[in-house]
Structure 1
């Protein structure tokens, strides 16, 4: 099975991938998956490797599928909090996410010049 790789250079590309309008700020965004939606979000059945030029903190309820960081498979049955750094890759296989969840994304330029830039890895 071939793995499809998707890299997001900026938040606008990430929003477009999710079918959302452009973010209000080019370097910072909070993405909310509305609980009003009746449809869950389902990735393709094939493997997808995702990465971006930004940090993300996601809180999601994954109902099925698998998440891999490197060769490590993570158990996501009781809700999941996912942290990603710029250029970090995560592989998802057959992922199905409940229609409630939040993701905070911010470009690495958003924290450039602040001490936190050197403290988070």
Structure 2
């Protein structure tokens, strides 16, 4: 495993020309000549990466299906994620925009970068672009390159960062379009999600395994946690955690009204280790304690 914390070191690893800016670079896949010892080697970077890949041989698994991405797919990596340097191919085209966190530190983008959850999606959950979308993205990237390649002045960083933010906002819009256009696939996903949630909330499963986590649900569905939550939010108005909590509250209400079990036992049946945790959770979600809800109803 190779750790890369600077743009200049990454250029050296790829056999690329020296960077024009210490904190940001745009790399053309066709101009890469990675050193032999680093080909097919896993590496961890200390910067953000946005990559557009297109060309023959760019098929990949997306969710539970296989799709041809020869027209181009956009992928996002955040600092600390693992990637692999591949040997460049004449049939593969595209670019890779890399920028260090120091570039956006202290800016409005730096304060909200975590809101762009697609940086934590799996590579199999890439953004598939139409020709028009690809043109929009590429034009912004070229503007970024032009800005950092010329003489740096007091306005350079603000202009570079604002263009990166525009790029990310367009990516968010295009991901929203992708969620919508994959409507039939998404309906199947929602059905499978609700079936899985029902299984998780069967009494014996709650007692044995506890309350299902977002991470567990996403893994069982075959998606990253952020991608599944974002997709569910688009389709249903609730993210994964909200669905889990809603199911928990509904089951608690049924047990409070439909049984004579003590509150402590109901909490245990729902996967809570301590009765006080159950009571606190129920009051947060309903505005009433379990005892008050049972009496009122």
Q: Distance in 2 between matches of 1:15 and 1:108?
A: 17
- Higher relative contact order, chain-length normalized (CA < 8 Å, sep 6+): 1
User: Residue 30 in 1 paired to residue 23 in 2?
Assistant: no
Q: Displaced runs of 4+ in structure 1, greater than 3 A?
A: 62-67, 72-77, 94-99
Aligned residues: 108
SS in 1 for 2:41: strand
Please, which of 88, 98, 107 is the counterpart of residue 114 of structure 1? 107
Aligned twin of 1:89: 82
SS in 2 for 1:61: strand
- How far apart are residue 16 of structure 1 and its match? 0.9
| 1:12-27 paired onto structure 2 within 5 Å | 12-27=8-23
TM-score normalised per structure 1: 0.66
TM-score normalised per structure 2: 0.30
Per mean C-alpha deviation after superposition, the further-off stretch among 15-24 and 76-85 is 76-85
Aligned twin of 1:10: 6
User: Residue 102 in 1 paired to residue 95 in 2?
Assistant: yes
SS in 1 for 2:50: strand
Task: Check whether the contact 1:62–1:76 (CA below 8 A) recurs between aligned residues.
Answer: no
SS in 1 for 2:10: helix
More helix per residue: 2
SS in 2 for 1:31: strand
Structure 2 unaligned regions, length at least 5: 115-297
If you compute each CA radius of gyration, which structure gives the higher value, 1 or 2?
2
SS in 2 for 1:25: coil
- How far apart are residue 116 of structure 1 and its match? 0.9
